[in-house]
């Protein structure tokens, strides 16, 4: 079943939508949550919570890209669970990835700007980037992949991946400043 049909089922409050969503995206959701969390129970609970949130937010939300919408929800729930589980501990690969991006993306944007606007700005920026740089960025900061995994996936050297990420973060920070996200 295609995403538009699943969204239509969600709008009609048809529970078949959840079955189809799970059938189509469960492996991806488990992968994303698994890159953030280590406990199988937490991962499964995170994915279930994401389905519940999709059910509760569509409608009124009308995502253009159901896959990205679901991935963002899973990632955010997993990060929240990770922070809850680890409190002040900052030693995992996720913490490193979050620390990397924290310098260019405001953690709490100005009260006049919504998180949706910030997400849209980041999406516009990524669409303007070279395909490989965009894919590397998304693998690192959406899926939580390690530098080694990304390097293997795209047949690159780890140092090249790190350089791509550094340069893309620098460009993103400049882009966001031009967009009015000057938070320093």
Distance CA 181, CA 160 (A): 28
Domains 1-88 and 90-184 fall in the same CATH topology: no
At residue 164, does pLDDT exceed 60?
Answer: yes
- Tens digits of per-residue pLDDT, 138-148? 888 888 888 99
Measuring CA to CA, which residue among 81, 101, 89 is closest to residue 35? 81
What pLDDT sits at residue 113? 60
Q: What is the pTM of this model?
A: 0.57
- Mean per-residue pLDDT over the chain, rounded: 84
pLDDT digits (tens, 9 = 90+) for 44-83: 999 999 999 999 998 888 888 899 999 999 999 998 888 8
Which token pair is 59?
């409608």
Of 3.90.580.10, 1.10.3080.10, 2.40.10.170, 1.10.10.10, the CATH number of 90-184 is: 1.10.10.10
Q: Residue 91's pLDDT is what?
A: 46
Given a cut of 60, is residue 127 above it in pLDDT? Answer: yes
Looking at per-residue confidence, does 20 or 84 come out higher? 20
Domain boundaries, the chain: 1-88, 90-184
What is the rounded average pLDDT of the residues 72-97? 72
- State yes or no: cis peptide before 59, omega within 30 of 0: yes
Give buried/exposed letters for 53-79 (b at 16+ CB in 10 A, else e): bbeeebeeeebeebeebbbbbbbebbb
Provide mean pLDDT across the span 156-181.
89
pLDDT for residue 90 is more than 50: no
End-to-end CA gap in the chain: 45
Q: How many CA atoms lie within 13 A of 78 on its CB side?
A: 30
CATH class of 1-88: mainly alpha
More confident position, 147 or 183: 147
The whole-number pLDDT of residue 94 equals: 54
3-state SS assignment for residue 139: helix
Q: What percent of the chain has pLDDT over 90?
A: 48
pLDDT over 80 (residue 111): no
**Which residue has 């969390």 as its token pair?**
37
């Amino acid at each position: 079943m295609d995403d538009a049909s699943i969204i239509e089922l969600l709008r009609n409050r048809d529970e078949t939508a959840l079955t189809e969503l799970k059938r189509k995206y469960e492996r991806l959701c488990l992968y994303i949550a698994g890159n953030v969390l280590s406990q199988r129970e937490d991962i499964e609970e995170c994915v279930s919570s994401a389905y519940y949130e999709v059910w509760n937010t569509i409608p009124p939300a009308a995502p253009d890209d159901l896959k990205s919408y679901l991935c963002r929800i899973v990632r955010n729930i997993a990060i929240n669970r990770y922070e809850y589980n680890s409190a002040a501990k900052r030693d995992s690969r996720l913490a490193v990835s979050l620390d990397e991006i924290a310098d260019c993306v405001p953690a709490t944007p100005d009260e006049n700007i919504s998180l949706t606007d910030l997400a849209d700005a980041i999406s516009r920026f990524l669409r303007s980037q070279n395909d490989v740089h965009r894919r590397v960025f998304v693998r690192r900061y959406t899926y939580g992949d390690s530098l080694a995994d990304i390097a293997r996936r795209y047949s690159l050297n780890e140092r090249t991946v790190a350089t791509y990420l550094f340069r893309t973060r620098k460009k993103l920070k400049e882009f966001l400043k031009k967009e009015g996200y000057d938070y320093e």
